[in-house]
């Protein structure tokens, strides 16, 4: 009983600290989504030079995309003419951070970490992009078939679009992993002794290596990694080792590694992994060796639960709203998953009465709403297609219209996904 009480206590205060900043980060993410025009982005990423690489990394840092959501976006930029170096820079810098994770980093880890983290993402993105341009030694590609991007809403229509993306679409991508991050952080705070890392992993280089090995194959988004890192630091993990986890964890996972190898090639994959491994380890060493330890003592305040620059009512209200959004999103996803393959809607059934072809495509690699958007837009661009219904939970897309199955496979392959079968 005592353990459960302490666990609930930790989660409650963790929510109080992070909720206001996280909600603000979601809102900023929505604004960015409908402010940065895709055409403008692609225009500045087309050359295999330093300027394109820097632009890609600069644009990637504030983008609220995780390592799975960034794949179709980065591959889409490449398919639409961006150089491999620029695409690589975007793929490396984007998942490490974002406006939402920067806000939560500030709330839990303090201002120094909130500044250092995006700088590290920016620099590793540039390094990876430049090395890729050097290794590949090729001109940027031009593809006739792009991923397509949704049109920007005009005028007042931007407001509901921003709110929907921020608190519905984006929340759908992050809710599961955010909940896991909070629950794991609370568990670490209760279970691990306060001197755990000082006692068993006192060598900072060894702790960095452990964090690196654990981070690369696993999926953890930039936002959910922060409460885990904060809890580990409270148990004695060095700030440098925590930075390794914050950089390598969000930037890599088994699925990302597979898709990058397939779409950009083995050379680019080696550069991608090498940049993240060397960059995160170097960043951890620099942080521990050259930055004053006093900069990070404020993290201890999270364990004391007695500080905040915000009024208590705002923190409580934000925590209630955030918890409600997470629970609602998880409930909706669970209901959809239970329904499984019964994704056809009334409009689909009506359309089926008038169309000659109805392909149910099973797709491997779809992991978030960005994947859904890219698949739907790409398939809708095919001649003869009248309707596309993408089901994230069932990992499938129903394509209705007069279209050849091979063309469907070709488009999905160009988007960076794998067709497991077509019915």
Contact 75, 87 (CB under 8 A): yes
Same domain, 229 and 371: no
Helical packing angle, 111-136 and 50-60, nearest 10°: 140
pLDDT of residue 38: 57
Based on the fold, state whether residues 166 and 127 are members of the same structural domain. Answer: yes
CA distance 290 to 293: 9
Are residues 11 and 67 located together in one domain of the fold? yes
335 in any annotated domain = no
**Which pLDDT belongs to residue 108?**
84
Q: What is the CATH number of the domain that holds 389?
A: 3.30.70.100
**Do 137 and 67 sit in the same domain of this protein?**
yes
Give me the number of domains the chain comprises: 2
Question: Is 364 found in the same domain as 271?
Answer: no
Last residue of a domain, one of 272, 299, 327: 327
The residues facing 390 across adjacent strands are 397
Residue 243 and residue 168 in one domain: yes
Helix, strand, or coil (residue 92): helix
**Do 321 and 193 share a domain, yes or no?**
yes
Supply the range of the domain harboring residue 405: 346-422
Q: Which run of H or E residues covers position 401?
A: strand 396-401
Are 355 and 306 part of one and the same domain?
no
In a domain, 340, yes or no: no
Same domain, 135 and 238: yes
Counting every residue written for the chain, the total comes to 423
Same domain, 373 and 236: no
The domain boundary, picked from 327, 359, 374, lies at: 327
367 and 307 both lie in a single domain: no
Cα distance between residue 241 and residue 206, in whole Å: 9
Is 147 part of a structural domain of the chain?
A: yes
The per-residue pLDDT for 302 is 46
Q: State residue 348's pLDDT score.
A: 44
Decide if 369 is inside a domain: yes
Task: Specify whether the CB–CB gap between 307 and 301 falls below 8 A.
Answer: yes
Would you say residue 399 lies in a domain?
yes
Domain boundary among 299, 327, 355: 327
Adjacent-strand bridge partners of 150:
none
**What pTM did the predictor assign?**
0.67
Residue 114 in domain: yes
Strands 418-422 and 396-401: what pairing? unpaired
Residue 332 lies in a domain: no
Q: Which helix (H) or strand (E) holds 284?
A: helix 266-290
Task: Give the residue among 271, 278, 220, 274 at the shortest CA–CA distance from 88.
Answer: 271
Tell me: do 243 and 365 sit in the same domain.
no
Q: Is residue 118 part of a domain?
A: yes
Q: What is the pLDDT along the chain (423 residues), one digit of tens a residue?
A: 788 888 898 888 878 877 887 787 778 777 867 776 656 666 777 777 888 899 989 988 988 776 656 766 676 667 666 788 888 898 899 888 888 888 888 888 888 888 999 999 999 999 999 999 888 765 544 443 344 444 567 778 888 988 888 888 878 877 887 788 788 878 877 887 766 766 777 788 888 988 888 787 766 777 778 888 888 888 888 899 999 999 988 887 666 677 677 667 788 889 999 999 999 999 999 998 888 877 776 554 444 444 455 688 888 999 999 899 999 989 988 887 777 545 444 444 444 444 456 788 888 877 677 778 778 888 888 887 888 888 877 888 888 888 888 888 888 877 777 788 887
């Amino acid at each position: 009983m005592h353990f459960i009480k302490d666990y609930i206590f930790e989660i409650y205060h963790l929510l109080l600290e992070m909720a206001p900043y996280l909600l603000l980060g979601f809102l900023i993410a929505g604004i960015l989504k409908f402010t940065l025009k895709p055409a403008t982005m692609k225009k500045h990423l087309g050359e295999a030079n330093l300027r394109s690489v820097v632009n890609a990394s600069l644009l990637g840092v504030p983008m609220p995309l995780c390592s799975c959501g960034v794949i179709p976006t980065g591959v889409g930029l490449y398919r639409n003419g961006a150089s491999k170096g620029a695409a690589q820079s975007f793929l490396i810098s984007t998942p490490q951070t974002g406006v939402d994770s920067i806000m939560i980093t500030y709330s839990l880890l303090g201002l120094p970490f909130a500044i250092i983290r995006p700088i590290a993402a920016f620099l590793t993105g540039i390094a990876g992009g430049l090395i890729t341009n050097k290794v590949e030694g090729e001109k940027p590609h031009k593809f006739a078939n792009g991923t397509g991007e949704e049109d920007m809403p005009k005028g007042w229509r931007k407001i509901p679009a921003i709110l929907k993306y921020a608190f519905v679409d984006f929340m759908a991508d992050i809710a599961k992993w955010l909940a896991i991050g909070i629950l794991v952080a609370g568990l670490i705070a209760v279970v691990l002794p306060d001197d755990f890392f000082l006692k068993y992993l006192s060598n900072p280089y060894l702790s960095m290596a452990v964090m690196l090995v654990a981070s690369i194959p696993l999926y953890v988004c930039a936002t959910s990694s922060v409460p885990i890192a904060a809890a580990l630091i409270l148990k004695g993990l060095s700030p440098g080792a925590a930075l390794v986890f914050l950089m390598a964890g969000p930037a890599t996972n088994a699925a990302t590694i597979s898709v990058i190898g397939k779409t950009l090639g083995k050379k680019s994959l080696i550069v991608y992994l090498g940049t993240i491994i060397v960059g995160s380890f170097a960043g951890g060493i620099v942080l521990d060796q050259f930055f004053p330890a006093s900069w990070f003592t404020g993290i201890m305040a999270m364990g004391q639960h007695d500080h905040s620059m915000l009024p208590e009512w705002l923190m409580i209200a934000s925590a209630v709203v955030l918890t409600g959004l997470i629970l609602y999103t998880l409930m909706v996803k669970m209901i959809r998953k239970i329904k499984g393959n019964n994704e056809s809607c009334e409009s689909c059934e009506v359309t089926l009465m008038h169309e000659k072809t109805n392909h149910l495509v099973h797709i491997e690699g779809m992991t978030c709403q960005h994947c859904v958007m890219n698949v739907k837009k790409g398939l809708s661009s095919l001649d003869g297609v009248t309707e596309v219904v993408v089901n994230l939970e069932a990992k499938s897309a129903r394509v209705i219209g007069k279209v050849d199955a091979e063309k469907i496979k070709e488009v999905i392959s160009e988007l960076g996904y794998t067709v497991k079968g077509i019915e």
